[in-house]
Structure 1
Amino acid sequence: MTTEQPQPRARRPRRHFSMIRTFVLADFVTLGNGFAGAGSILAAMQYLATGALDFLWLAYGLMPVALVMDVADGRIARWRFKKSPLGADLDSLADVISFGMAPAALGFAAGLRGGWDVAALLYFVACGISRLARFNVTSAALSDETGKVKYFEGTPIPTSLLLVMVLAVLTWQGRIGAQLAGGLWQWGPFGLHPLALLYVASGSAMISKTLRIPKV
């Protein structure tokens, strides 16, 4: 008596770009946020390479675009009523680029290039990353019965646009680069521009446990 051997399962045809098929409209808007932030960084680099001030203004101008995209993706996600499996992670990664790295790159382009300046910028970026990671971990505990987060612990990372606004005003006044407002302090072997302390304050506010900002 012979037993019939089970036939191997037929392999499903490989689906190309399957990740893209999982995207919803809000995800593409989130990517727009990341594109604007990355574009701002590249424009700042082009300014440093060429000295053409138009590129620095382009870098500043892309930041409000990133903010609009960041606000719109959440509204679209709620409007479409279709949850994206990648939405939260995409949003955090885009925010790190647009509201963490881009403001730091703009600060460096504007003249924060002393050793202590760079340390302040790196601290700011680290705080932004940590703040987003904490939000992702605690958002469920902080949300109400509808799933909406009631408040932020620490200032939201898009508040870094206030730093960009300060840089834009100083650029308009011609007080960047060697003429950066506040002058340069020599502290040990490295230089520090007082303006860099705004980045330290912004980063510290983002990771604060005592600051609770209602989410609108």
Structure 2
Amino acid sequence: MATTPSPVPVRKHFSMIRGFHLADAFTLGNAACGVGAVFLSMAFMASQSLAQFLWAAALAPAAFVFDVFDGRIARWRQTHSALGRELDSLADVISFGVAPAALAFAAGLDGGWDCVLLIYFVCCGVSRLARYNVTAEALSAGADKVKYFEGTPIPTSVVLVGVLAWAAWQGRIGDAVWGGAWMLGPWQLHPLTLLFALSGTLMISKTLRIPKF
């Protein structure tokens, strides 16, 4: 006796979007701020308009607000999901990793050694978020959220963006960037870039534990 084949599920258009929660919309707002900051950084390099640089910097705290609220909304509505966690990490890489590095490059931290350190900073951020995603369940110990961060969270790069914004406001970017420039071998290094190297190193620290409130 022939069996009736199981019906093939109908895939609706935009089925992935239908599965998004309210918290995911805030996460995408975070990512949008990061992409906007990258675009404005590139526009600043073409126009040298201080307003564009400051708007790019202003999108970092805006992204931070979205990042804070997406977690709170997810807990409030009890809509935690693996998709939401991955979305959050990808958005953070853009807004707090790539965007600050792009802004630093636009500010004049564009020497060979600067580029190496900015790439290191972004790679540290990516590594830190990957480690968090893998260890979050173990660190939470069955609770709704983790009790502490291993290494500094990547959104702390907002502080670096604040430093760049203040430098720009004071006219201390480009050729007049704080700390000047050093020639080390074949490449140039701006000492201000060392702040990004320090931030990246703190993010991947295994022993540094920061309570999560």
Q: Residue 12 of structure 1 is aligned with which of 6, 9, 12?
A: 9
Structure 1 residues without counterparts, runs of 5 or longer: none
Distance 1:87 1:12 in 2: 24
Q: How much does 1:53 deviate?
A: 1.5
Instruction: Establish whether residue 193 from structure 1 lines up as the match of residue 190 from structure 2.
Output: yes
CA distance in 1, matches of 2:43, 2:11: 41
Q: TM-score, normalised by structure 1?
A: 0.95
The match for 2:103 among 82, 106, 124 is 106
Residue of structure 2 in register with 1:22 after alignment: 19
Structure with the greater alpha carbon radius of gyration: 1
Q: State, as a whole percentage, how many aligned pairs show the same letter.
A: 60
**AA in 2 matched with 1:201:** L
| Residue 9 of structure 1, CA deviation | 4.1
Match of 2:125 among 104, 125, 128: 128
Structure 1 residue aligned with 2:211: 214
Give CA deviations for 1:2-58 in whole Å, capped at 9, x if unaligned: xx5444444333311110111000000000000001100101111111222211111
Structure 2 unaligned regions, length at least 5? none
Following TM superposition, by how much is the alpha carbon of 1:85 offset from its aligned partner in structure 2, in angstroms? 4.0
Asked if the contact 1:140–1:147 (Cα under 8 Å) also holds between the matched residues in 2, the reply is no
**Aligned residue for 2:80?**
83
Match of 1:96 among 76, 79, 93: 93
Deviations 1:114-147 (A, max 9, x none): 0000000000000000000000111111113323
- Report SS of the residue matched to 1:71: helix
Distance 2:148 2:9 in 1: 45
Does structure 2 conserve the Cα–Cα contact (< 8 Å) formed by 1:27 and 1:84?
Answer: no
RMSD between aligned residues: 1.2
C-alpha distance 143-11 of structure 1, shift in aligned 2 (>3 A): closer
Go from structure 1 to structure 2 and tell me whether the alpha carbon gap of 1:200 and 1:85 turns closer, same or farther (over 3 Å shift): closer
Deviations 1:91-116 (A, max 9, x none): 00000000000110010010100000
CA distance in 1, matches of 2:82, 2:153: 23
Q: Distance in 2 between matches of 1:138 and 1:6?
A: 45
Separation in 2 of the partners of 1:13 and 1:64? 42
* Structure 1 outlier segments of 4+, above 6 Å: none
> Counterpart of 1:186 in 2: which secondary structure?
strand
User: Shift of residue 82 of structure 1?
Assistant: 2.4
Residue deviations 1:55-80 (CA, integer Å, cap 9, x gap): 11110111111000000000000111
